[in-house]
């Protein structure tokens, strides 16, 4: 009798031990990626840099992965979503500016004359300043969140926040599970990206590097606020992406993901680090499920960076070939 | 016989369980702090904001603690350690600049004429630019690390990296264990602080916000580098500390620690966040073990911020009264 009791006790304790300390069964960390060279190269790289006995091991302190946003983590066609915000916001603000009906570039916006609007970079800059500055950061978040709830994508008729790439979500999660800090390094506005990055990507505000406006500290009726000033502080594109990585992170990344020529220097900078690094470009090759564009596109042009990717043996992620699904909502079907 | 075997097996398994899953015994998280109101207020605050059922609970996403560096985490007397670097570096560089012997402000440095040197802020700026820019970031780190190995403090005759405040090390460790991300927000140079922050404070490069020089991306003989340009990009003092917190972190801190008027706005900004916040100033009150200075000091003046601390009921950390030891090396005695 006693002997049986001990046996049960032992077995019970053993089971408890096994259940609490068991090694989880390895499942596919990237289920939306087709099996093939791209997926295998990612998994192989991550296995190597996280394995202490591998010559390519990278300590967890140094494990940084950087991601461009527009076109790399979510769709950027037919126009950058931040420009949709600018246009919608100008229309909203126009109620208080009757003079805009006859004044460019506002007239072009109000008449939906995109051809005229996009004929001048200075006009675009002016509209960014009018819609993004002259208010506190808190106020900008209020305006932005309100807009984001309503805004729909013209092709998919869905909230813009639905248009994130499911395979990239899996990739970021996989990297985090392997001790990486994942940063967004985008030409888009930092405050704009902070509107949704935590919700849709799980990336906290301090890991968002983007284009910055100058800001000032102001105490209004006893309350300190950060006020957005009508001047660009850092335009986070091309070489400046590398500059910003040094300022915000201070560590050369181990992995870098982009999709256009604006990401070239970020990838070159990543490659310049000691030891093995992983550089990849997302190639928009799927006109049915998303969009197809590369060397000749006005948005997200992938031309010089493509040549460099081939020269340097960087990974080209072919959306059509490598991804089982593009968006999370495809999983629900 | 069998029964005994099972008994041993059960006991052994139980012991294993207890050793692997046991709740650690709570020990004093701040052993170098004297028991008293200051220590108790810190522990009480941290207990509240980390307790889900407390009305002052702060989610771990939002748990940010910011620390000034000079005078808050390490000594800043008789001059900021970064100025010691500037002076030593000018003397080193003077070998290649024979003309400096007759040219101000270099002449003053070479003749150890501090009174003349500190008579002009522009001169100090010039020396910062000459010693901190015109090189790659990698090269700056080489120079800085070499200097840091040799530099000694005039009063203590010890490496500067020994002069960190033991109670603040314990505080930062305690906060990290409670889910806080600890940031340095300093008027000192970001790259300068990155030389030692990981080693002496355990704070990684991406959690160092400091004064920034402009930098550029340059490819030199095929290798990308970040080049330091002779212009200040962000002078991280006073209101700009709040501005920088918004840019680098994007979350209003839950706790802020400073020691001088330059930290006032950072503490006010922290206080402006919703819910309960913790603001504290380190008061240098110990002329024997460290230095004693406040309202009239040229370095680390604590005057307006002191008044505001009293008005707002911020915590004043009295080094003489609140700290059992100042430096880690006192523990070895």
Which residues from A are below 8 Å from B226, CB to CB? 242-243, 246
Q: Encoding tokens for residue A159?
A: 């909230």
In this prediction, residue B332 has a pLDDT band, given cuts at 50, 70 and 90, of: confident
Q: Which of B10, B247, B249 sits opposite A6 (nearest CB)?
A: B10
Question: B104 to chain A nearest CA, in Å?
Answer: 32
Q: Give which of A208, A214, A181, A179 is closest to A195, Cα–Cα.
A: A208
Q: In sequence order, which ranges of A50-80 are alpha helices (DSSP H)?
A: none
> Which residue stretches of B178-286 are H helix?
190-194, 197-201, 239-248, 264-271
* Record: contact A226-B243, CB cut-off 8 A: yes
B129's tokens: 């630019």
pLDDT, tens digit (0-9, with 9 covering 90-100), for B238-292: 999 999 999 999 999 999 999 999 999 999 999 999 999 999 999 999 999 999 9
Q: B272 — contact with chain A (CB < 8 Å)?
A: yes
Number of H helices, E strands in chain A: 14, 8
Pair A241, A185: CB distance under 8 Å: yes
Contact (Cβ atoms closer than 8 angstroms) between residue A284 and residue A296: no
Tell me which chain A residue has its CA closest to the CA of residue B194.
Answer: A250
Do A279 and A256 meet the contact criterion of CB atoms below 8 Å apart? yes
- What's the pLDDT score for residue B12? 64
- A251–B205 C-beta distance less than 8 A: yes
| Partner residue facing B215 (CB), from A2, A219, A243 | A243
Position B18 pLDDT exceeds 70: no
Q: Considering only CB atoms, which chain A residues are within 8 Å of B217?
A: 238-240, 242-243, 265, 269
A18 inside 8 A of chain B by CB? no
C-alpha–C-alpha distance, residues B75 and B319, integer Å: 12
The answer to whether the CB atoms of B205 and A21 lie below 8 A apart is no
Q: What integer pLDDT is reported at residue B2 of this predicted model? A: 59
Q: Do A223 and B248 touch (CB under 8 A)?
A: no
Low-confidence ranges of chain A (pLDDT < 70): 1-25, 333
Q: Is the minimum CB–CB distance between A215 and chain B shorter than 8 Å?
A: yes
pLDDT of B9 > 80? The answer is: no
Q: What is the mean pLDDT of chain B?
A: 94
Q: What is the pLDDT of residues B140-165, one digit of tens each?
A: 999 999 999 999 999 999 999 999 99
Render pLDDT for A264-284 as a digit per residue (tens, 0 to 9): 999 999 999 999 999 999 999
Neighbours of A174 (CB within 10 A): 17
List, for residues A201-217, the tens digit of each pLDDT value.
999 999 999 999 999 99
Nearest CA in chain B to A241: B217
Give the three-class secondary structure for A166: helix
Residue A264 token pair:
């070239």
**Does A251 sit within 8 Å of B206, measured CB to CB?**
yes
User: How many CB atoms are located within 10 Å of the residue B4 CB?
Assistant: 11
Interface check B242 vs A, CB under 8 A = yes
Please report the pLDDT score of residue A24 as a whole number.
52
For residue B323, what is the DSSP state?
A: B
Cβ-based contacts of A206 with chain B (< 8 Å): 181, 248-251
Q: Does B24 touch chain A (CB under 8 A)?
A: no
Distance CA B7, CA A10 (A): 8
């Amino acid at each position: 009798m006693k002997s049986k009791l001990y046996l049960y006790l032992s077995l019970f304790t053993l089971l408890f031990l096994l259940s609490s300390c068991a090694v989880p069964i390895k499942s596919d960390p990237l289920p939306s990626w087709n099996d093939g060279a791209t997926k295998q190269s990612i998994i192989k790289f991550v296995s190597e840099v996280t394995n202490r006995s591998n010559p390519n091991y990278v300590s967890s302190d140094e494990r940084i992965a950087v991601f461009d946003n527009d076109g790399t983590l979510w769709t950027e066609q037919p126009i950058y979503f931040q420009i949709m915000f600018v246009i919608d916001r100008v229309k909203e603000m126009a109620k208080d500016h009757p003079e805009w009906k006859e004044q460019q570039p506002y007239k072009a916006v109000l008449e939906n004359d995109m051809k005229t609007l996009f004929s001048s970079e200075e006009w675009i800059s002016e509209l960014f300043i009018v819609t993004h500055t002259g208010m506190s950061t808190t106020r900008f978040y209020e305006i932005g969140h309100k807009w984001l709830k309503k805004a729909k994508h013209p092709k998919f008729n869905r909230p813009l926040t639905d248009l994130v790439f499911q395979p990239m979500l899996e990739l970021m999660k996989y990297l985090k599970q392997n001790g990486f800090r994942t940063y967004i390094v985008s030409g888009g506005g930092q405050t704009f990206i902070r509107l949704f990055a935590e919700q849709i990507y799980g990336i906290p505000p301090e890991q968002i590097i983007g284009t910055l406006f100058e800001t000032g500290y102001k105490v209004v009726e006893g309350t300190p606020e950060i006020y957005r000033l009508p001047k660009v502080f850092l335009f986070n594109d091309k070489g400046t992406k590398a500059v910003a990585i040094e300022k915000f992170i201070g560590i050369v990344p181990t992995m870098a993901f982009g999709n256009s020529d604006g990401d070239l220097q970020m990838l070159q900078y990543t490659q310049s680090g000691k030891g093995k690094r992983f550089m990849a470009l997302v190639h928009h090759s799927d006109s049915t499920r998303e969009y197809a564009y590369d060397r000749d596109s006005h948005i997200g042009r992938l031309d010089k960076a493509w040549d460099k990717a081939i020269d340097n043996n960087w990974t080209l992620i072919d959306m059509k070939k490598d991804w089982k699904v593009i968006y999370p909502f495809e999983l629900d079907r």
